[in-house]
Structures are given as C-alpha cells and as structure tokens.
Amino acid sequence: MTATFDDLDLSVLPPAYRAAFEALQASAARVPELEEITRRQEHLIAELNQALHGKKSEKLSEDERQLAFEELETALAEVEEQKQAEASDDDSPRQKRAKAKRKSRDLPDSLPRIEEVIEPDSLECPCGCGLMHKIGEDRSTRIDIIPAQHRIIETIRPKYACRVCTDGVTQAPAPARLIEGGLPTEAFIAHVLVSKYADHLPLYRQSQILARGGIDIHRSTLADWVGVASFHLKPVVDRLAEHLKRSTKLFMDETTAPVLDPGKGKTKTGYLWALARDDRSWGGDDPPGVVYFYAPGRHGQNAETFLTGFDGILQIDGYPGYNRLTRPSRKGGDPITVAHCWAHARRKLKEVFDRDGSEIAAEGLRRIAELYAVEKDIRGCAPGQRLSARKARSAPLVAAFGEWLQAQRLRVSAKSRLGEKLAYIHNHWNGLQTFLTDGRVEIDSNNVENLVRPIALNRKNALFAGHDEGGRTWGRIASLIETCKINGVEPFAYLKSTLEAIAAGHPQGRLDELLPWNYQPST
C-alpha cells in the first residue's frame, strides 16, 4: 500500500519538519488546479495561432480577425495572471510580475508628465551612522488617463462708458462662432464629428455618454450641429476633390451606404464612391488624399459625374459600370485609361482553390505570386526604375500567364465556377497589363480598398444614414478625417482648427490653407 500525506501523523514530527510537510501538502493540493490553468493557457495559445496562421483566418473579415485577436489575447492575459496568483503563497507578498514587453510605440513627449517621488519612511542609517545620501534612483513609467472633461466657457464682455459725456460707450466685439448663439464650441463640434465618423460612435450613443456626465443634449441637437459643420466644410471638401482630380493617376472604389427610405420604413442601398490619390509607393510629390462621393445608386453614370475634369489613369476593380469612362462618348473629359486589379484576379482563383483545391487555380495563384514578388522588390523605387524592372521581369511573366489563361479556358467549361473566374480575368486582360506601361501605376487597387474599410465600420455601427443628405454628410466629413489619417494629421486638432478658422471668416480664396495636408499644429 502506498503511503500518502494523509497517513502521516504530523504531531510526532518536530515543528520545523511539520511546517515543511504542511507547506508541501498545500502545494500538492494546488497541482491539479495549476495543471488545469496550464491546459487552458495552451488551448488559448493554440486558438491564437489558428487565428493568426490557420486557413480559417482567411474566411474571417479583417474586423472579425481583430475582434478574435482581442478576445483571445484578453483571455490569455487573464490566465497568465491567474497562474501567477495561484503559484504564489497566499501569505507571502505579491510577487512582481515579469516586465511586460511594450507593444506600442514610445509615449510621445507632448504628453504632460507628472513625477511622483516616493521617499523611504526614514533616511536614518540603521547602524546609527546618521543620514544616508542618495546614490541613484529607479524610474518606472505608466500611462494614466483623465476621463473626458466637459467645461462651461462663459464669455464676459464688459461695457465701458465715459463719466463726463454720454457719447462714449465701448465694448469688445463678440468672438466669432460657427453657430451664432449656440451652445457648442468649435472644439465640441469637432469632437462630435470625430466620434461619429472616425470612432464610429452614432449620435444617440454620444448623447447617452454625455447624459452619464450630467449633460442632457438630445441626439437631434447633435445632428443639427453636425449638419451645420458639414455645410461649412463643404467648400474645403470640394477644393480637396479639385486637387485630386488634377492628378494624373487615381484610385476609385465604391461601397454600400444604406440609407433610410422615407415613407417606406425600411432602408435602401446608397453608395459611397471613394476617389483616392496615394503616390507614396513611388515617392510622388503630391500628398495622399481621399474624397467620398455619395450617390443613391451604383450606376456608372455616377462615377462619370464624380470624375468630371479628370483625364488620367484610373485604378479600379472589375465593376462594369466603369466601362463607360473608357469610351469616346464619355462626358466630362477624354476617355480614361483604366488599370485593373491583380488582387481581384487572384481573389477569384483563390475562391475556387479554397472550395475544391483546383490544380489549375493553384497554378494561377503561383504565377500571380511571381508578379507580386517583383513588386515587392521595386516598392519605393522611382517610376523609371519600376517601369524598367517590370519590362524586364514582369512582362514575360504576364505574357506567359496570358498564354496559360487561354489554354486553360479551352480545357474548362465556361459555365463552371472555374470557367467563370478565368473569363473574368480574360475580360479585364487589357486593364491588367496597364501597370506594365507606367511605373506610377500599382499592380492592384488595395490602396483604395483600405480606405473604404472605415466606411464599412461606420456602416456596421450606425446601421444606416437617415436620408440621402445624411449620406452626403457622411462622405464629406469622412473625406477630411481619412485624408487627415493618411497624412499623419490628428483629425480632432485639424477639425477644431478648421472650424475656428471658418467661424472667423477664412477667405474663400485661400481654401488650400485649410486642406488637411497643410495643417500645422499650434505650438
């Protein structure tokens, strides 16, 4: 029979041995619990690796993946904390946790810093030698937060009069305001705009947050402020669009923007069309920017209207509505040269490969990967260098892909799923070769696709815009916020400064000064 701790008579042991046995017994009792925590930890780590590297992650949207990462990392941190707490003795002081690796960038110098000096209770030497002297110090840095603070600004304008005569009364003029006689400052309006269109927080939720702080501002009042701001910002957005359309190459994409259909009690599908410039990959001089145009439908005529005055190269996906832009009958300018997207071509083949493991689709993916390998090597190079490399390395690959494509189309039924995907690539073949003729053109339109993601996030949180006019406001404010973001400009500071300038009567002839990339933070 095997002896256990329970079989021992601890009373016959010396006190020191008895204490050691009791500690060992307590530790043994915690072993199963610690093993369970370890198993949970290993399971969470496996799930995190699956979300990061497994095939299932490709079926999740970007937002769904980020949510999965957040929840898994949160659970993993909880388990690690629990494991540490269980491993330490209840009676012993809490052990210091291993210093966490800082995942974010260094904290900015612009943040105020408060030094807290913690002195010992006594500086007397324990040996009675007198006062000890400082030989060094340890410093640790933590980030703190003060929840959003609201304050009331009372503007007082004293009146002065002469005691001798009755003619002289003087008073300082009232400061300029965006909303005359209104409650909000320009900073408050800017905060509402950023919360709604950058942080995807609908107005009714903002109203609820304000109510928790004792401020009763109805959603409809916030909506009035947003409408006023949108009206005054319209000339700035129009000027931004003019700048973009003077470019020789732009991206364009569209995404749904559901709007409420008055009188029917349901939503209809509107669209926000993103027109973007991003020349950073080849060192272009023009700053990046994006403008979102709203339209109640997806008809190609809307794109034609939005692009009036633009005659350059347009990088797009395969939506047929853009075809009218390439015709001699195009209104608003000369026929446009289009550059189609290899990422969309790859996506078509990837869908087939994921479904049935098609060897033909796999071969197409391999060939496209060779093109992207060239692009990786020349990213950041000047247009001339990019064009030379493409002619030497990519052009033969594209020619071989074209021959392979036609051969596979003869083998595969046009009505099959794979046949449809191959036909898609064939129908856009001319546009897929545009990047071989101009070093400024990208191989895909991923730049603009990344710029429609914030619209999708706002759509998910707000559900729909209340009206077609709400869709236009949505696009207008989002244009300025997203242009700020891709130029490294803080949106709240920019909107606050711009609204204050407009309220102060900024001249219409100097709108360029109000464009996001020209914003200079006040020191």
DSSP per residue, 508-523: GGGGGGGSGGG-----
CB 273 within 8 A of CB 476: no
Cα dihedral value 501, 502, 507, 512, nearest 10? 70
Task: State the CB neighbour count (10 A cutoff) for residue 81.
Answer: 11
Rounded distance between C-alpha atoms, residue 375 and residue 443, angstroms: 8
Q: What is the pLDDT of residue 320?
A: 87
- Say if residues 499 and 178 touch (Cβ distance below 8 Å): yes
359: CB partners within 8 A, 6+ apart: none
Q: What is the pLDDT along the chain (523 residues), one digit of tens a residue?
A: 455 555 556 566 666 666 666 667 666 766 777 777 777 767 767 666 666 666 544 455 555 555 555 555 566 666 665 666 666 655 454 444 444 444 444 677 778 888 888 888 888 888 888 888 888 888 888 888 777 788 899 999 999 988 888 777 888 988 889 888 888 999 999 999 999 888 888 888 899 999 988 889 888 889 889 888 998 999 999 999 999 999 999 999 888 777 655 555 566 678 889 999 999 989 899 999 999 998 888 888 888 999 999 999 999 988 888 889 999 988 888 999 999 999 999 999 999 999 889 999 999 999 999 999 999 999 999 999 999 999 999 999 999 999 999 999 999 999 999 999 999 999 999 999 999 999 999 999 888 877 777 666 655 554 444 456 677 888 899 999 999 999 999 999 999 999 999 999 999 999 999 999 999 987 6
The answer for residues whose C-beta is within 8 angstroms of residue 155's C-beta and 6 or more apart is: 174, 175
Contacts of 511 (CB under 8 A, 6+ apart): 235, 236, 239
Q: Cα–Cα distance between 373 and 350 in angstroms, integer? A: 18
> Cβ distance 463 to 367 under 8 Å?
no
Supply the DSSP symbol for 48: H
Contacts of residue 478, Cβ cutoff 8 Å, sequence gap at least 6: 197, 272, 292, 454, 455, 458
Tokens 């009364």 — which residue? 169
pLDDT at 79: 62
Cα separation of the two ends of the chain: 81
Asked if residue 253 lies in contact with residue 448, where contact means CB atoms within 8 angstroms, the answer is yes
The reply to whether the predicted model has a pTM over 0.85 is: no
Q: Which two tokens stand for residue 352?
A: 């087939």
Give the count of beta carbons closer than 10 Å to the beta carbon of residue 4.
9
Convert 130-150 to b/e letters by CB count within 10 Å (16 or more is b). Answer: eeeeeeeeeeeeeeeeeeeee
The single residue listed with the structure tokens 């980030």 is 143
What secondary structure does DSSP assign to 123-175, as a single string? -B-TTS--B---------------------------EEE-SS-SS-EEEPPPP
DSSP 294-306: EESS--HHHHHHH
Contact 354, 365 (CB under 8 A): no
